[in-house]
Chains A and B, each alone.
Chain A
């Protein structure tokens, strides 16, 4: 996926370069220069994109007994992703999934938010989607890394 985005970025940069070369008009040159500067910034952002967390996928089938129920997220103190084995009948037309997951976010267990909970710093709260660590629930795709 990063190679595809790099290809798109390179094609954008080449298109911007062609735009600069083809139309030497005053306003267009300024606009194309802005586009070239923006294309460089997009390339920098694409190269520095953070990797998603692989630990839940790696720990999917491990049911360590820290709580008595099976979770898929044992390296993370969240323990919000639960794993269960659905019933598999003999007449399935396709190969069945043996392990399925569901998420229990913390707001199901806290009916009224207590006062004075510890908070994240502001910038980390923006990235995590909540101001309080006690209410944090991660948001990971089951199908793509």
Chain B
């Protein structure tokens, strides 16, 4: 039982990827700039957005994180198609 990769899948995935990338950049920046309050505020806002975006994506297409960082339906969804390099 595999997922159909339609336009909505890719648009939602790109939204999640964009927010995640910005969070990675801000994390690395804040490691060397711990007193930048504006960056910390932006980081927290993006973290909230990422949480919402990831919940919306996972409710449609299954878990995105392993080892209990995402929930799974019955039957076990983590091993279902498509795998990341097939997307």
> A residues engaging B (CB < 8 A)?
30-31, 34, 37-38, 41, 112-113, 115-116, 122-123, 125-126, 130-132
Q: For residue B29, which residue of chain A has the nearest CB? A: A113
**A37 and B2: CB pair below 8 A?**
no
**A113 and B2: CB pair below 8 A?**
no
Contacts of A34 in B (CB 8 A): 2-4
Question: B17 near A: Cβ within 8 Å?
Answer: yes
Q: For residue B49, which residue of chain A has the nearest CB? A: A122
Q: For residue A116, which residue of chain B has the nearest CB? A: B38
Known A-B contacts A34-B4, A41-B5, A115-B36; the reply to A131 vs B26 at CB < 8 A is yes
Question: B83 near A: Cβ within 8 Å?
Answer: no
Complex Cα–Cα for A116 and B40 (A): 12
Q: Report which of A41, A113, A126 forms a contact with B18, defined as CB distance below 8 A.
A: A126
**A130 and B17: CB pair below 8 A?**
no
Question: B48 near A: Cβ within 8 Å?
Answer: no
The distance from the CB of B83 to the nearest CB of chain A, in whole angstroms, is 13
Q: Report which of A37, A38, A125 forms a contact with B25, defined as CB distance below 8 A.
A: A125
**B19 and A122: CB pair below 8 A?**
yes
Contacts of B14 in A (CB 8 A): 123, 126
Q: Report which of A30, A37, A126 forms a contact with B6, defined as CB distance below 8 A.
A: A37
Q: Report which of B4, B5, B18 forms a contact with A125, defined as CB distance below 8 A.
A: B18
